[in-house]
Structure 1
């Protein structure tokens, strides 16, 4: 025998539908006793919860002190965060953050925007794709997760379009991954409200990708701290464009803390020019604390130039990963008693705590001894 629904659950579902379709019920929701209010939150899907919290943040429930006497406002806002955490864990049960988020509402919508962009990227690469990226229809699976219902299709906003999701929730995005298919001018417009702190880029290889990427970097230059390139092809103009997009116009200094270029390659007909541009970028990074250039087909001349630029830079690098390259022999060219190591020079390398030179043809125990002489502060070594 099926258990009959409780009166509270029926009322909560009715309120949910009203919230999804309009705002009229919100003042009455704000009048609920704290215990009923908390129960209601657990019945709300993301779209309804978002609308209610946004209205309450804007004091749309009435006067500024409306229904928040005796410290109840703080408690209710804490309950919102708990519900957002539950919604996130339900939708992305296999995702575990290294550091638990403080703001679960932000984390939820950031992951939602990423899911929408991933879906869009799969469609854009199809030969049959025509039209605007912003007009791409989001799948029913994603729409159902956030609480979209068919009776909402008469509303002014079009929940089915990618543009709606980017415009409404793009400002929550702090960390995103972008495929090359989405590195276009239109994506920059869709993400114009974002304040990205971390950006992962994949398969960036052509000039049109670079131009759009540079615009996106300019939009987020004040907040971006981590930049990762995966399966990319780097040209001098590519690296120069990145540097100019991120650097302050006055001081030519960027705020990147973590730079990673992985399983990528340089344009073969002008590798030295690429190295010069990359070295210039490294020299402009006073905040740089992690540098990873892995499996990029780099030779020992490149290793020497990177090493020289880091010796002269003013950042405090703690992680240096040059694994998967052919840079063996570059350490033996330096004299630790020389001028580069005197009078405080080499600050970037004095702060090193982790050095990874795996698969770098670094040589035998002599090379390891050289590394220990050059980098006495390192407490984690990885060689092979």
Structure 2
């Protein structure tokens, strides 16, 4: 494999105290009207009290997204609680190591990375942490920033129901519902500073189906890999963009089953060759190779956005006057590698050489 220069290098890990400046910049940008960032004292206390619950995604060493949480005893708070009752003074003094639920108190993503689905990746990491700690589930107090447009027309309960029915899309609640969280109730004055939500919070819960009454840690290391193999139907495409749209359909579908890797077949981009000179197959294949780099870049973006590793299936690459058959591995962290086909068939050499 050759050494590559990558646009992104994503890594999921626990937050560290020296990440504060990155976190502060993101929070000040995301919450300018809601108090901005946690103080350094609060941030350090969170990490000191419950380091496993403070997660982040870094890109080349810089934090670009984070999720904060603590453990609570659900019998103490019930469903009618406020954000301030959970977070207290912001130092996680209410964290209860012997509690039964993980409570998500914040998730934020740098605006430049919002198209990469990092929020979903952090939610999945929280679920894995919940399973590892053998907690009953995750509770969050969801915002409903879209409610401001409807506040004069309906009560928040009706708004939530319409979002559940997909009659309305809310930028926060729709995302949380799509991550298997279940609606419990609407709480008034949950977060008074959240004017877009009119102060309301939506209590949501995700249930850990692996929870056992007897406390037992479940290993976080995966013992299996879930692989999705695409059965690709050859069809004509009007443009390269249409082709990429079809590729993304399969990536989205397979990622929806929490697969670790999706495999496309060899020369799955060959329908694009139809626009080139069919009387000269060798030249047509070289023209097809012009799409290889844009295809690779699109697959890298999809791998990060859908949190799945992608194997491209071999495609033509024309370099230094020679035609190669190359396969790309596009990792979900934004890095990639390639492997050239070792044994070219006689027919490939004769037809395209």
Q: Same fold (TM over 0.5)?
A: no
- Bigger helix fraction: 1
| Structure whose alpha-carbon radius of gyration is higher | 1
Q: Which has the higher contact order (CA 8 A, sep 6+)?
A: 2
- Bigger strand fraction: 2
Q: TM-score, normalised to structure 2's length?
A: 0.28
